[in-house]
């Protein structure tokens, strides 16, 4: 019997590209040339969905954060800190973190939309928060983000299992851990104190959505976002462009005050808009760039507000040794910015793959042979001018659990040709004889193509055949989520500044399509992970992080990692811009000065 919730709303097939036709109150009568319009890039082919519960990538996040909001968010002036967004104040607890009390902010309304009576958006309530969190448990959405709250909220796992076993998922069924006090106040009760819980409430996957919109649009909700965010969708052409208009009913959110900015930020005049209501622009236009060259050319032509500086063009804009912006770019009024990312760049193994997976001595030796043969330092020097930090383990520099000097004795750190050959023989493939080609899935772009050719050459020196398979980023993630990629590569930016977030990538129950893309499963590792979830920062916790890190390295579930320092350039007409990859709700703080456009 088909579950009733799987039946999409009728008559919505034509609503594929736009939401403006159903939005009420958008300023569609204004002429475009009278609007303040901001043009921005999205690297790769962009989001695969505009439904936060289906999102997992940076690009899903970047798009969804314009339309939806979370209970908490990162601060723009100091992104490592959290602050309320849909809440009137930070959550409180009186029992050490098991029961959390929340108060919703007044005056927050969903977008005006045809899904509501009379087309008028209504105020958010605790029921919307509970409904939005419950969606993470619905296997209609493939449980892609269930890992975020698995085992966390009282009775939520039991609710998930019961509803997915039923003919119809009942969103009205109670969850013991959800307690509504009144139309603004509520509590969430956890199974036990979980250190990361408040961080999760700032992740875009826990954005608050209205039930009316999900039921009105059915499967087309992923293309018709309705939230509380600063912008309302106009058009979305997948893999090409996304445009959105200012939400005329956006609640009171103000640009950070003067005292919140550092002295350096004030020198960059980032405090100029202090205390003003956002957003400032009437319209934002995103363009997707699968290849870096068109993005770089569009930025240099003045058509994009900012850009990440592609590796191929770094030395065109910056001095390699000093990392200072060159005079030719300064004369154009362009401004630089740099961020050291909480970054884990890797080449992972599917631990369920027939050739590369498994935990026997032979399977482990094969993965270690590959790792010993790959020279990350050569890749770093050749393609990244030595600017990346090569390190052992999944925990990036700056976080507890990162190894001293970036090195761990458990790692099969290349380049070590002698050890690579020894491991190949131990794996049953002496001198590479009888070893099938290693198929490596990665996203299509010029630098990935070149790096893959170098890896192919490095592995060939020990007679390992390497076959790169290139595809757009969203297709890559889909293949990994379906466990079709034997070996694969991309980067993970930490969702919050705690090494637990990176260790979660190897927790067995988080297997694909969850965050454990490697499908790594070790009972002793999982037991340690469950233990650290309830622990705050301490020497004991850091020691356990190191133990878990070295367990992963010993099994060689991936080759890596690397941490990036991201360089940005901003055109003079884009104001208030301090790019960050900690979160993506910061576009609402940007402004434009059209008098400074060429």
pLDDT given at position 472 = 92
Give CA separation, 554 vs 362, 425, 487, 562, in Å: 13, 18, 18, 18
Contact 403, 552 (CB under 8 A): no
- Domain extents in the chain: 4-33+50-224, 343-563
Residues near 193 by Cβ (< 8 Å), separated by ≥ 6? 96, 97, 98, 534
Nearest partner of 478 among 517, 505, 452, judged by Cα: 517
pLDDT value of position 11: 37
- Do residues 19 and 12 make contact, with C-beta atoms less than 8 angstroms apart? no
Q: What is the spatial distance between Cα 179 and Cα 41, in angstroms, rounded to a whole number? A: 42
The 10s digit of each residue's pLDDT in 7-50 is 333 333 333 444 444 444 444 444 556 899 999 999 999 999 99
* Residue ranges for the chain with pLDDT beneath 70: 1-33
- Nearest residue to 442 via CA among 454, 434, 432, 458: 454
Residue 33: what pLDDT? 60
The count of other CB atoms within 10 Å of the CB of residue 598 is 10
CB 396 within 8 A of CB 342: yes
Please tell me the distance from the alpha carbon of residue 440 to that of residue 471, in angstroms, as a whole number: 11
The pLDDT of residue 1 is 34
138-143: list long-range contacts, CB under 8 Å, 24+ apart. 138/5, 138/53, 138/163, 138/164, 138/169, 139/164, 140/3, 140/5, 140/6, 140/169, 141/51, 141/53, 141/54, 142/54, 142/481, 142/513, 143/513, 143/514
From 268, 385, 389, select the one nearest 318 (Cα to Cα): 385
Contacts of 246 (CB under 8 A, 6+ apart): 27, 230, 231, 232, 279, 281, 282, 283
CATH number of 343-563: 3.10.105.10
Amino acid 445: pLDDT: 87
CB 119 within 8 A of CB 159: no
* Distance (Å, whole) CA 463 – CA 344: 28
Predicted pLDDT of residue 21? 42
H or E element in which residue 293 lies: helix 292-300
Q: Fold match between 4-33+50-224 and 343-563?
A: no
Q: What is the spatial distance between Cα 168 and Cα 506, in angstroms, rounded to a whole number? A: 32
pLDDT of residue 459: 98
Query: β-pairing, 185-189 with 99-103?
Result: antiparallel
Supply 536's token pair: 């705050």
* Residue 74: half-sphere exposure toward Cβ, Cα within 13 Å: 22
What is d(CA 228, CA 64) in angstroms, rounded to the nearest whole number? 11
Q: DSSP labels for 105-165?
A: PTT-BPPPBTTSGGG---B--HHHHHHHHHHTT-GGGTTTTGGGTTTTBTTHHHHHHHHHH
What is 4-33+50-224's CATH topology?
Answer: D-Maltodextrin-Binding Protein; domain 2 (3.40.190)
**Reported pTM:** 0.86
Buried b (16+ CB within 10 A) or exposed e, 349-360: bbbbbebbbbee
Torsions phi, psi for 93 (to 5 deg): -140, 145
CB 555 within 8 Å of CB 321: no
Q: Phi and psi of 277, rounded to 5°? A: -65, 140
Q: Give the burial class of 268: count Cβ atoms within 10 A of its Cβ; 0-12 exposed, 13-18 middle, 19 or more buried.
A: middle
Question: For residue 497, with 0-12 CB atoms within 10 Å meaning exposed, 13-18 middle and 19 or more buried, which class applies?
Answer: middle
User: What tokens were used for 130?
Assistant: 């509970």
Q: How many alpha carbons lie under 13 Å from residue 122 in its C-beta half-sphere?
A: 16
Give CA separation, 227 vs 69, 76, 175, 201, 390, in Å. 7, 21, 24, 16, 40
Q: How far is it, in rounded angstroms, from Cα 468 to Cα 122?
A: 50
Cα separation, 301 vs 324, in Å, equals 21
**What residues are paired with 363 via a beta bridge?**
none
């Amino acid at each position: 019997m088909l579950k009733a919730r799987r039946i999409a709303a009728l008559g919505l097939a034509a609503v594929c590209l736009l939401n403006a036709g159903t939005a009420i109150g958008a300023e569609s009568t204004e002429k475009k040339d009278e609007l303040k319009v901001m043009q921005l890039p999205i690297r790769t082919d962009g989001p695969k969905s505009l439904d936060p519960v289906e999102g997992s990538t940076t690009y899903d996040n970047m798009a969804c954060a314009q339309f939806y909001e979370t209970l908490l968010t990162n601060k723009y002036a100091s992104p490592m800190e959290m602050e309320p967004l849909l809440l009137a104040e930070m959550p409180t607890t009186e029992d050490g973190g098991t029961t959390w009390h929340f108060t919703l902010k007044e005056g927050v309304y969903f977008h005006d939309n045809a899904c509501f009576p009379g087309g008028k958006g209504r105020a958010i309530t605790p029921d919307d928060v509970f409904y939005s969190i419950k969606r993470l448990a619905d296997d209609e959405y493939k449980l892609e983000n269930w890992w975020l709250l698995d085992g966390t909220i009282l009775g939520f796992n039991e609710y998930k299992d019961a509803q997915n076993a039923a003919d119809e998922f009942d969103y009205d069924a109670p969850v013991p851990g959800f307690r509504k006090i009144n139309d603004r106040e509520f509590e969430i009760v956890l199974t036990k104190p979980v250190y990361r819980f408040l961080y999760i409430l700032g992740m875009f996957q826990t954005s608050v959505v209205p039930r009316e919109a999900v039921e009105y649009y059915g499967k087309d909700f992923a293309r018709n976002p309705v939230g509380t965010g600063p912008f309302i969708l106009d058009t979305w052409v997948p893999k090409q462009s996304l445009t959105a208009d200012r939400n005329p009913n956006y609640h009171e959110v103000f640009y950070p005050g003067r005292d919140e900015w550092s002295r350096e930020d004030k020198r960059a005049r980032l405090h100029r808009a202090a205390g003003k209501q956002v957003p400032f622009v009437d319209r934002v236009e995103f363009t997707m760039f699968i290849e870096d060259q068109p993005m770089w050319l569009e930025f240099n032509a003045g058509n994009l507000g900012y850009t990440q500086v592609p590796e191929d063009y770094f030395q065109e804009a910056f001095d390699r040794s000093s990392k200072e912006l060159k005079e030719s770019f300064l004369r154009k009024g362009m401004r630089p910015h740099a961020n050291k990312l909480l970054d884990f760049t890797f080449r992972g193994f599917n631990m369920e793959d027939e050739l590369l997976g498994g935990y026997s001595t032979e399977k482990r030796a094969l993965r270690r042979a590959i790792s010993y043969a790959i020279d990350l330092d050569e890749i770093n020097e050749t393609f990244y001018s030595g600017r990346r930090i090569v390190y052992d383990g999944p925990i990036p520099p700056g976080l507890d659990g990162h190894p001293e000097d970036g090195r761990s004795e458990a790692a099969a750190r290349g380049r070590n040709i002698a050890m690579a050959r020894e491991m190949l023989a131990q794996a049953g493939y002496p001198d590479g004889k009888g070893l099938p080609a290693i198929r490596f899935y990665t996203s299509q772009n010029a630098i990935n193509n070149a790096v893959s050719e170098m890896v192919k050459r490095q592995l060939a020196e020990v007679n390992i055949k390497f076959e790169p398979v290139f595809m757009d980023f969203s297709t890559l993630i889909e293949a990994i989520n379906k466990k079709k990629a034997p070996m694969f590569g991309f980067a993970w930016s930490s969702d919050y500044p705690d090494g637990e977030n990176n260790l979660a990538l190897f927790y067995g129950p988080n297997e694909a399509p969850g965050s454990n893309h490697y499908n790594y499963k070790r009972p002793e590792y999982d037991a340690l992970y469950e233990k650290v979830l309830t622990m705050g920062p301490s020497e004991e916790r850091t020691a356990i992080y190191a133990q878990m890190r070295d367990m992963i390295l010993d099994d060689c579930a991936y080759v890596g990692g690397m941490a990036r320092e991201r360089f940005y350039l901003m055109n003079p007409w884009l104001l208030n811009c301090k790019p960050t990859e900690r979160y993506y709700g910061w576009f609402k703080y940007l402004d434009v000065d059209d008098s400074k456009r060429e």
